[in-house]
Chain A
Amino acid sequence: MSGRRLRRAGRRLVLAVPGSGRAVAVVRGRRAVRGLLDGGRFDVDWYAAQADTSFSSPEDAARDYLERGRRAGLSPNSLFEPEWYDPAGALTRPDDPFGAYLARIGELRTVGPHVLVDPATVIAAHPEAATHRHGPLGYVLDHADAEGLAPAGGGPAGAVVPSVPWVKARGRLIRAVTQWRQQERLRRAPRRSAVFDHRAEKAWRSALRSQPAPVAEDAAHPVVTVVMPVRNRSGLMRRAVDSVRAQKLPDWELVVVDDGSTDDTPYVLEGLAAADPRIRVFRQDGSGVSRARNRGIAEARGEYLAFLDSDNTWLPDFLDLAVRAMRRDDVAVAYAAMQLREGDRVGYRAFDGDREYLLVGNHIDLNVLVARTELVRAVGGFAEDLRRAVDYDLVLRLTAQVPAVFLPFVGAVYSDDSGDRSRISVSEPLAWDFVVRSRHAVDWAAIAEQDRVPGRVSVVVPVRDDLATAARCVAALLASEPDADLEVVVADLGSRRAASVGLAALELRHPRLQVHRLPVDTGPALGVNLVLPHATGEVVAVCDPRVVVDGGWLAPLLAALERPGAVAVQPLVTDPVGTVAAAGATFTAAPGQPVPLLWGHPVEDALKLGDVAQLPAVDGPFWLCRAADLVAVRGLDPLMPLRWLGTDVSLRLAAGSKDLDPRFPGRLVTAVQVELTSADAEADETADDKGQAVGGGGAVSGIGADDGQFRRRWCGGGLPSGRSLWRSAGFAVTGHRARSAGSVAAGDPALTAVVARGWRAGRDEVEVGMSPDERPLLRWRIRGTPELSGRAQAVAAALRRWEQDAVVDLSGRPAAQGELDDVTLHLVGAGEPVPEPAGDTPSLLWLLDPGQETAALVAPARQAGYAHVLWTGAPEDGQGTAGGSGTDSAPEVCALAPAIDPVLFRPATADDVTGGVLVAVDLDDASPLLRAAVHAAVRAGADIEVRGRGWAAFLPPGAEVGEPVRSHRLAAAYAGARAVLLDAAGPGGASLPAAGVLPWSALQAAACAAPVLLAWPEPSPQTPAGAPGAWSLVRTFTTPQEAVELIATPSQELSGDPQTRLRVARDLSVSDSYDARAFTLVQLAAVLTRREVTASGSRAG
């Protein structure tokens, strides 16, 4: 019997003894505790700060973590946060993430467990960390102490930051987690609960029994005035009034203020008032619930005020008990518990919390609040400019004067009938709560008095939960402007623990970063307002964390802000596929709804606006203004939907004051030469359309706000339409449409403009422009996938050199604006499906990669309606153009030889050639012949430079493998190489060698005047097809041995002297460049458009 079997049998024997299972569990638990505490891996102080508990011993803390904490998502060590390396939880065992991380170090060696731990940096500084039994993290935990340095380094954010003293890091992290715990206590307070302590209520009631019953001092002054506003609630209010009349306390008066009811309410009230003289009815003309309550307060004659809504009912002893208790304890403001009934469920609003809790969320219901009348009058009653949360506002103002005392008895019952659409809680957004909180939590006067640092720019970034996105954004902001006086202020909108602590840790990595955590997610607007006191710059920028900036963005924006009259500036924001995500807001003529300028257009359209354009309003995820101006208009408005936050604030800035007159001649400028990329614009759009909180990835949210608030404020007309801007970009606005069907269904369509090309706006002016040499001047839309971006841009640039108007659209969206274009050119790479042609516009399909000219692709493409299908291969006439093109009989399926970008791939001087023979492909993309050739060359010690992924494991030990060459560096790498080793077969297949056509990469290398060594599995073609000049720089090999010999051959013997190679390269840039192919395309399009013109009879040219 093997040892393992013996052990297993022994274990079974032990477990067979009664009670032994429990003993085994105890032993295992002790062992686990000891294991956790070994080597300082369990940080007791850190864990205690999260668990909000003090432990009697480290063992207790470790046991608590193992039994509860790890499942609750708490972290055992301040340098371990699974959310950092595994946000989706895919790598980590949910029941023991720490153990799993340490156990799987083999796989995760390169993955940092925390924003402050970069394994590569650790291993670089301490090579022995690579072999530590628990990996780099284990090494750090074993060796970091108060004197040592925390292993800060480049993390997933890609930034390099200075090291941080460990003691400082740990202290900051513990402070951050302590703050999180304290704020969580405020946030998670049981403002609503399923149970109520009725026994305590009973005791409290019996203690109050000895208190004398409240009696009015004289008949004209009742003890309590009950104020009830009512509007169109005739059928509902009877129960509320009856509950007042049923009060045990007899000395009350009910002041009902009818706020302009149009139903039977006034008549019912007339009957009520006639039946009971204690009921007084007043009427106003629908001025709002606050004004109605204020009228009631003004009419009140009682010593105390209580408020009852027409859809609530009091229990009979509410007033009696409340006034008894208030008189006994000399209390000015008190509130009781409220029972909430929703169907069969019963809950309670019964929380005893002070103002600190109130500032995080309201727990006092107005219907159970009783306050001294003079105090309510002293604080000014209800705010009449609020449409919701007026009770919250009053409570905050009252508690700013005196504390509100909780009376532990149930005073009222609230039945949820949320089907009632007239309820304010249904008809008005939750964001009013944030408006109230903004009023009470932000001291605008103090912020206005603050000293600001001249020239400094404070970028405020509201973040919720998405640590990786925030880290990327912050790192990019700071790294892109290393020399500018720039600070980043992150408003942490109540993120989860791991994200909050991670954000706090970022502060350690970026000295110019401040992170301020807010207890709850209050939406980005209030978040920005709340951190504004911490921004010290004289210019404030508000930035969505999904925005990724590149260098040089700040100076142009600041220069634009300096222009006379400029009050806010924004850059041009593109989405990841290069279409316009934000270029400013324009407005419809009536009722003045915002329309994003050039949204969804190719970026080239926006560039036609010029370097700087004057906008009606800014729009988008990034904008700047002067801090003093922003403070003067009281910051961002939490009521505004996220996508119009900047638009609203810029309009208010333009108005110059709190007076919201949009006709004030302010100027808003966009600096279009700066491009930012909103990394998640598509998701943003989708979320917006669904009417959900924006930033589904958790970046920021727009809680409760809606477009109605924006329309209510700004859509009275008079907003500038911005049509001149559309004209500047070459378009005429012909109408507007919803961005998507979803937004229409939501009843609040986000609009986009329907535009026509300037020359098509008038029917009589329809005409295709012609160049002097009789080429049609067409607008081309180059479509394709983001992977084809480089080639699409090259084709577009080549078309522009032929005086064409070419735009690149890699969005993949249906060509909604297809009518703007004369021709659509779809580029399709290897393995990509053939897209649908664009609407009525003549469409060309170019199958870019060899091997695509199969019937499987071409025939369906023809059937789908493409006017021409072009595939990459040897053209029949050997000229690199479609046979017979330029005539009316142009073939509909034809070949184009591969071509190169003459701007990117051009010859270098002889001095640039410093390298050896270059191999710049990934192992996975290399053919077996190329792999074997490289392997043989390395083994033979040839002068070869291998760059690409996967080679390290393939080549013999000791072989040097460089980083992959990025596409924009490829030309320089080719130009600097002595020769380039390439595959003849591209990723699309092996048909090119058979046809004798050179692949793209060989042409590119040849255009850089580099000799090309081509792995050619078949005998050399008798008659090389296409690009005959390039063939003079190409040598082929069919075996690894041949390759080794060729690599050893001097350059001049390979492909002639440098002058010859230069001449060949120059010839290539003419004959086999995109310019040449573009000319072919223009010729094809000329025929197509002429056909179109003839067919329609309206554009005969």
Chain B
Amino acid sequence: MRRLAVMAHYDARGEVAPHVLRQVDALSEIADRVLVVSTADLAPDGPAARELSRRAELIRRPNVGYDFYSWRTGLDLATDLHRFDQVVICNDSCIGPLAGYEPVFAAMQDRPVDFWGMTMTRRRALHVQSYFVVFGRHVVASPAFGDFWQRMTPISDRAEVITRYELGLSGCLIRAGFTPGAYFVPTRHDRRVARARHLWWAAQTLRRLPAHRRRRAARRIPFEPWNPVTALADRALDHARLPLVKIDTLRFDPYGLDARRLLAGCERRYPEQFAGVREFLDRTAAAYPVRAGERSGPARPPFGLRHVLGYGR
């Protein structure tokens, strides 16, 4: 099966982190052609560019439009999309794959889906989370797919990119009749745990809100769908059922589930995949300030709840 992979890359330091190179290597194993579209300030002849160029086709472009515009640039430059049976788009926001991509693609081969990702959520609307998405050839050939990328313009607001492009991509394909899917399928137990973690996060979030906003938020936040890539990030430790770990989960610990424990567990379980990750997090911490509404860093649930909710149970 012929595959094309387009990876969006950004590094505030103008470098390439080791886990990124490992991900490019993993992509190269399953894809016939890998394009890395980087918006990082890479020196043309520097070691980072050399490393990337050695592993994939490197495309550099200005840092506008977030990862979606990088994918669009890559897809535009690929030109021969029809030659591939699958097209993969992904970014460098994850560490992994923890056990290679082969078992992932093999598992998805028999599922009746037209496009899929590692995780799918119903937050705001049903969508495949865009850090890793695979499209079948018939989807890539469809007018809906073509129109989506054709109409894209660079947007500099992250929230708007998520609304218009991350949700929009899945939305337009679903409306066109294509079926979405996800590699990671939570079990009933997963869902129960995720629900409890989400409620824990909701309680913390509400506590942080001023009193006048709390009442209204209390009617909404606890009932929102949970985010699988965060709420069940420790399923990575469970035989890599979730084969990618989001760096933001480790950096910000959005649900307050003790990301340090998760990182430590991952380093123990997947030492090769996580080599240099801790250093990367430390060195880039200043470049990734806390975003509005998110936590400033890893936290721990109180002692009584730690074993019930915390990562790595």
A positions within 8 Å CB-CB of B: 233-238, 263-265, 267-268, 270-272, 274-276
- With A271-B136, A271-B139 as contacts: A276 and B177 at CB distance below 8 Å: no
Report the separation of the CA atoms of residues A194 and B141 in the bound assembly, to the nearest whole angstrom: 45
Contact A268 B142 (CB under 8 A): yes
* Given A234-B144, A271-B139, 12 further pairs, Cβ under 8 A: A235-B175, A235-B177, A238-B179, A265-B177, A267-B138, A267-B143, A267-B176, A268-B114, A268-B138, A271-B114, A271-B138, A275-B112
Report the separation of the CA atoms of residues A236 and B142 in the bound assembly, to the nearest whole angstrom: 16
Report the separation of the CA atoms of residues A263 and B138 in the bound assembly, to the nearest whole angstrom: 13
Contact A237 B177 (CB under 8 A): yes
Contact B138 A238 (CB under 8 A): no
Q: Indicate if B178 sits at the interface (CB-CB under 8 A).
A: yes
Report the separation of the CA atoms of residues A265 and B177 in the bound assembly, to the nearest whole angstrom: 7
Contact B142 A267 (CB under 8 A): yes
17 contacts between A and B (CB under 8 A): A234-B176, A235-B174, A236-B177, A263-B144, A263-B176, A264-B143, A264-B177, A267-B143, A267-B176, A268-B114, A268-B138, A268-B176, A268-B178, A270-B138, A271-B139, A274-B136, A274-B138
Residues from chain A with Cβ under 8 Å of B175 in the complex: 235
Contact B177 A268 (CB under 8 A): yes
Which B138-189 residues sit within 8 Å CB-CB of chain A?
138-139, 141-144, 174-179
Residues from chain A with Cβ under 8 Å of B144 in the complex: 234, 263-264, 267
| Chain B min CB distance to A997 (Å) | 84
Residues from chain B with Cβ under 8 Å of A272 in the complex: 112
Chain B's closest residue to A273 (CB) is: B138
Report the separation of the CA atoms of residues A275 and B116 in the bound assembly, to the nearest whole angstrom: 14
Which B98-157 residues sit within 8 Å CB-CB of chain A?
112, 114, 136, 138-139, 141-144
Residue in contact with B178 in the complex, picked from A236, A271, A274, CB distance below 8 Å: A271
| Chain A min CB distance to B262 (Å) | 36
- With A234-B177, A271-B136 as contacts: A264 and B112 at CB distance below 8 Å: no
Residues from chain A with Cβ under 8 Å of B141 in the complex: 267
**Interchain pairs with CB closer than 8 A, number:** 48
Residue in contact with B176 in the complex, picked from A235, A270, A276, CB distance below 8 Å: A235
Report the separation of the CA atoms of residues A274 and B143 in the bound assembly, to the nearest whole angstrom: 19
Report the separation of the CA atoms of residues A271 and B176 in the bound assembly, to the nearest whole angstrom: 12
Residues from chain B with Cβ under 8 Å of A268 in the complex: 114, 138, 142, 176-178
Report the separation of the CA atoms of residues A236 and B176 in the bound assembly, to the nearest whole angstrom: 8
| Chain B min CB distance to A261 (Å) | 10
Chain A's closest residue to B110 (CB) is: A275
Report the separation of the CA atoms of residues A699 and B179 in the bound assembly, to the nearest whole angstrom: 54
Report the separation of the CA atoms of residues A272 and B138 in the bound assembly, to the nearest whole angstrom: 10
Report the separation of the CA atoms of residues A114 and B114 in the bound assembly, to the nearest whole angstrom: 72
Residues from chain B with Cβ under 8 Å of A234 in the complex: 144, 176-177
Report the separation of the CA atoms of residues A237 and B139 in the bound assembly, to the nearest whole angstrom: 16
Report the separation of the CA atoms of residues A234 and B177 in the bound assembly, to the nearest whole angstrom: 5
Chain A's closest residue to B114 (CB) is: A271
Per CB-CB distance, the 8 closest pairs between chain A and chain B, nearest first, are: A234-B177, A267-B142, A268-B177, A270-B138, A264-B176, A275-B112, A267-B138, A264-B142
Contact B178 A263 (CB under 8 A): no
Report the separation of the CA atoms of residues A271 and B137 in the bound assembly, to the nearest whole angstrom: 9
Report the separation of the CA atoms of residues A677 and B136 in the bound assembly, to the nearest whole angstrom: 71
Binary flags per residue of B211-240, CB closer than 8 Å to A gives 1, else 0: 000000000000000000000000000000
| Chain A min CB distance to B141 (Å) | 6
Contact A238 B177 (CB under 8 A): yes
Residues from chain A with Cβ under 8 Å of B178 in the complex: 264, 267-268, 271
Report the separation of the CA atoms of residues A235 and B179 in the bound assembly, to the nearest whole angstrom: 10
| Chain A min CB distance to B255 (Å) | 34
| Chain A min CB distance to B278 (Å) | 42
Residues from chain A with Cβ under 8 Å of B136 in the complex: 271, 274
| Chain B min CB distance to A272 (Å) | 8
Report the separation of the CA atoms of residues A274 and B114 in the bound assembly, to the nearest whole angstrom: 10
Report the separation of the CA atoms of residues A485 and B141 in the bound assembly, to the nearest whole angstrom: 73
| Chain A min CB distance to B158 (Å) | 29
Residues from chain A with Cβ under 8 Å of B174 in the complex: 235
Chain B's closest residue to A236 (CB) is: B177
Residues from chain A with Cβ under 8 Å of B114 in the complex: 268, 271
Report the separation of the CA atoms of residues A233 and B176 in the bound assembly, to the nearest whole angstrom: 8
| Chain A min CB distance to B97 (Å) | 25
| Chain A min CB distance to B138 (Å) | 4
Residue in contact with B139 in the complex, picked from A236, A263, A267, CB distance below 8 Å: A267
Contact A263 B112 (CB under 8 A): no
Report the separation of the CA atoms of residues A237 and B112 in the bound assembly, to the nearest whole angstrom: 15
Residues from chain B with Cβ under 8 Å of A271 in the complex: 114, 136, 138-139, 178-179
Report the separation of the CA atoms of residues A272 and B142 in the bound assembly, to the nearest whole angstrom: 14
| Chain B min CB distance to A101 (Å) | 65
Binary flags per residue of B20-38, CB closer than 8 Å to A gives 1, else 0: 0000000000000000000
Residues from chain B with Cβ under 8 Å of A265 in the complex: 177
| Chain B min CB distance to A214 (Å) | 24
